[in-house]
């Protein structure tokens, strides 16, 4: 028994060193998928416990893509369980008030920069929010998480060619929407 305890202690420490540093990324990803903070944290808590349970299957890959894969899968089952289909569509867009609250917290150097930054931030937030989920997730994994095509393909469980075509489509959509916002 002492040996077993030592092993779980070791597992916990490894988990804390390898996986826990990516908790913020997990929450951010879930937030952009689920649309609000409370759900995102519920999803991530469930995902982290799953990750911990399956930690013995983790071998040598990068921990962040591995965790994001679990977050995404957990998110999918969570949505099926907790949100009727019709509601998904409505709440799919991020909560404007919540985005605004998040924005207030940011510390930006000067008021002018800040207001310009906010303006831009709003436009970007809206454009990304408006993307259909399959395009939004690929943009987040590439531009925010900076994963490679191979890693994204693994997270989404699709061929690499699909990653490329979705990214191309997503960028076209963002391009069009942002032009609209400026013009």
Q: Where along the sequence are the contacts to another protein (CB under 8 A)?
A: 1, 4-5, 8-10, 12-15, 17-18, 21-24, 26-28, 31, 37-38, 40-41, 44-45, 48-49, 52-53, 60-64, 94, 99, 101-103, 105, 117, 120-121, 124-125, 128, 139, 142-144, 148-149, 159-161, 164, 167-168, 171, 174-175, 178
**By C-beta, is 133 or 149 nearer to another protein?**
149
Question: How far is residue 40's CA from residue 23's CA, in Å, rounded to a whole number?
Answer: 12
Which of 62, 37, 63, 65 has its CA nearest to residue 140?
65
Q: Could you tell me the smallest distance in angstroms from the CB atom of residue 160 to another protein?
A: 6
Cα–Cα nearest to 135, from 91, 177, 158, 165: 165
Nearer to another protein, 86 or 112 (CB): 112
CA atoms within 13 A on the CB side of 14: 16
Least distance from C-beta 80 to another protein, angstroms? 22
Asked whether 62 and 34 are in contact (CB, 8 A), the reply is no
User: Do 75 and 36 contact (CB within 8 A), yes or no?
Assistant: no
Nearer Cβ to another protein (88/164): 164
Query: C-alpha angle 55/12/50, rounded to 5°?
Result: 40
Closer residue to another protein in complex, CB, 45/91: 45
Closest separation between CB of residue 86 and another protein, Å?
A: 25
Residue 94 vs 154, nearer CB to another protein? 94
Nearest distance in Å: CB 2, another protein: 10
d(CA 167, CA 134): 10
């Amino acid at each position: 028994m002492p040996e077993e305890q030592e092993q779980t202690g070791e597992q916990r420490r490894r988990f804390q060193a390898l996986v826990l540093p990516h908790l913020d990324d997990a929450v951010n990803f879930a937030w952009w998928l689920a649309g609000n903070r409370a759900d995102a944290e519920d999803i991530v808590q469930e995902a982290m416990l799953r990750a911990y349970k399956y930690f013995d299957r983790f071998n040598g890959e990068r921990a962040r893509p591995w965790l994001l894969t679990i977050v995404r899968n957990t998110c999918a089952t969570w949505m099926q369980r907790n949100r009727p289909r019709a509601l998904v569509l409505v709440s799919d867009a991020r909560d404007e008030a919540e985005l605004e609250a998040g924005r207030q917290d940011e510390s930006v150097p000067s008021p002018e920069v800040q207001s310009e930054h906010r303006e831009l931030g709003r436009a970007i937030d809206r454009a990304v929010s408006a993307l259909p989920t399959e395009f939004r997730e690929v943009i987040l994994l590439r531009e925010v998480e900076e994963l490679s095509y191979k890693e994204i393909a693994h997270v989404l469980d699709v061929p690499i060619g699909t990653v490329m075509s979705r990214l191309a489509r997503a960028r076209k959509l963002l391009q069009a929407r942002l032009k609209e916002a400026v013009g």
